[in-house]
Amino acid sequence: MFNSLERRYRKGEDLLGLVTRAALVLILVTPSAVAQIVPEEISVETTPDRGENWFIGKTGNGGYIFDATDGEMKGMLSLSRYTPAVTFWPPRGEFYAAESYLARGVYGERTDIVAIYDYENLSPIAEIEIPNYMARLQVRSHMGLLNNGRHLAVLNMNPGHSVSIVDVEDRIFTHEASTPGCAVIMPVAQNDFMQVCGDGTLQLIQLDISGFEANRVRSDVFFSVMDDAIFDRVASSNTGWFLITHSGTIFHASTDDDEIIIEDGWNPRLEGEENWRPGGRNEIISAHHETGLIFVAMHEGPIDTHHEPGTEIWVLDSNSKRRIGKIELDTPANSVLVTQESNPKLLIVDSEGGSHVYDAITLSYERSIEIPGSTAFEDL
């Protein structure tokens, strides 16, 4: 039909006549075509009530919310590709994420923010601009919501270390605390946080009610940076934090007002296992608060192989300070997370990007979940 019209136009037929004929053809065709189109019903889904063992799978394209119990996806957060962590505060029904953006996607002027998302619609509802040199690695302990639920601490690297304090309740950037040589954010008490320092100590920073620094304390030296350094991957407990060294020695740190309490370290390796050590690209340690169980990605290798993924997951009892089980993996693990339910699930990201769910008590495999580009998890 249109080829015929085109030939007539090429022979010199009047343009107006050509357009008129084309319009008549469209008028005749359109009604029958439209009759075959079924109108789409538009609806808006909201996030269902949070269930047990829900988690966020972090990727370079956002955060996917899943139920580990049945493997069903519940929603998605549109996070930036440079998001070290995201956390949820149930009383306000809000997610908080430190995010970094470049004006042209991969280059251009940089803007760092704390983004706030509502739970019901998983939509951004506010953002607070912060100094544009936050640590952009996907490390959970590079951001922490303090236990009062009001102040969020974000680690900076410029290249020296500092911490941005944000009041997520009043939606304002409070101030930047200089923390040279000290990294990691470990919330303690109501409005304080600890850090691991390069001289073998821990640092405690206590904030006042407005989020400004009120006090700063350092511990005694308790580990050797040269002989057996501590990872910047840590795991919270019901009273403090578990720290792990490159050899697998575990320390527990907590506070009592302005006193830092560090328990004696212990190593779960048995005789003949001296070459077994922690390793992985992301979160290598996680702990279940109620039972005191610790899950660590372990591999066999020489010193300085701490980036090698774990071929086994060791299950440690922090009460008896010994290993009580292990999971031998077909594909090595780069990241682990245990949920905090009474029937917890152990989540593993393997070195090929696969995401797997285990029963954290029986250690039995349950299912694999497809989360494209998954790198680490956040408990929800």
Residue pair 276/270 in contact by the 8 Å Cβ criterion: no
Residue keyed to tokens 């029958």: 32
Residue pair 202/188 in contact by the 8 Å Cβ criterion: no
Which tokens go with 377?
């998890």
DSSP state at residue 142: G
Residue pair 162/179 in contact by the 8 Å Cβ criterion: yes
3-state secondary structure of 339: coil
Residue pair 214/189 in contact by the 8 Å Cβ criterion: no
Interatomic CA distance for residues 151 and 162, integer angstroms = 16
- On whether both 83 and 229 belong to a single domain, the answer is yes
- On whether both 122 and 170 belong to a single domain, the answer is yes
Give the number of domains in the chain. Answer: 3
pTM of the model: 0.88
Residue 65 resides in a domain: yes
Residue pair 294/250 in contact by the 8 Å Cβ criterion: yes
Which tokens go with 213?
């620094």
Residue pair 375/282 in contact by the 8 Å Cβ criterion: yes
pLDDT at residue 4, as a whole number? 47
Q: Is the pLDDT of residue 27 over 70?
A: no
Tens digit of each residue's pLDDT (9 = 90 or more) over 91-115:
999 999 999 999 998 899 999 999 9
Tens digit of each residue's pLDDT (9 = 90 or more) over 337-349:
999 999 999 999 9
Give the type of residue at 65: I
Domain with 3, as residue range(s), is 1-43
Mean pLDDT (whole number) for 362-379: 94
Mean pLDDT (whole number) for 307-329: 97
Q: Is the pLDDT of residue 375 over 50?
A: yes
Residue pair 97/114 in contact by the 8 Å Cβ criterion: yes
Tens digit of each residue's pLDDT (9 = 90 or more) over 53-86:
999 999 988 999 999 999 999 999 999 989 999 9
Count the alpha carbons within 13 Å of 129 in the hemisphere toward its beta carbon: 4
- On whether both 153 and 225 belong to a single domain, the answer is yes
Mean pLDDT (whole number) for 117-144: 95
- On whether both 137 and 89 belong to a single domain, the answer is yes
Please name the residue ranges forming H helices in the chain: 2-10, 15-35
Residue 374 resides in a domain: yes
- On whether both 95 and 190 belong to a single domain, the answer is yes
Mean pLDDT (whole number) for 9-17: 48
- Kindly report whether the peptide bond that precedes residue 159 is cis, defined as omega within 30 degrees of 0: yes
CB count within 10 Å of CB 5 equals 15
- Percent pLDDT > 70 in the chain is 91
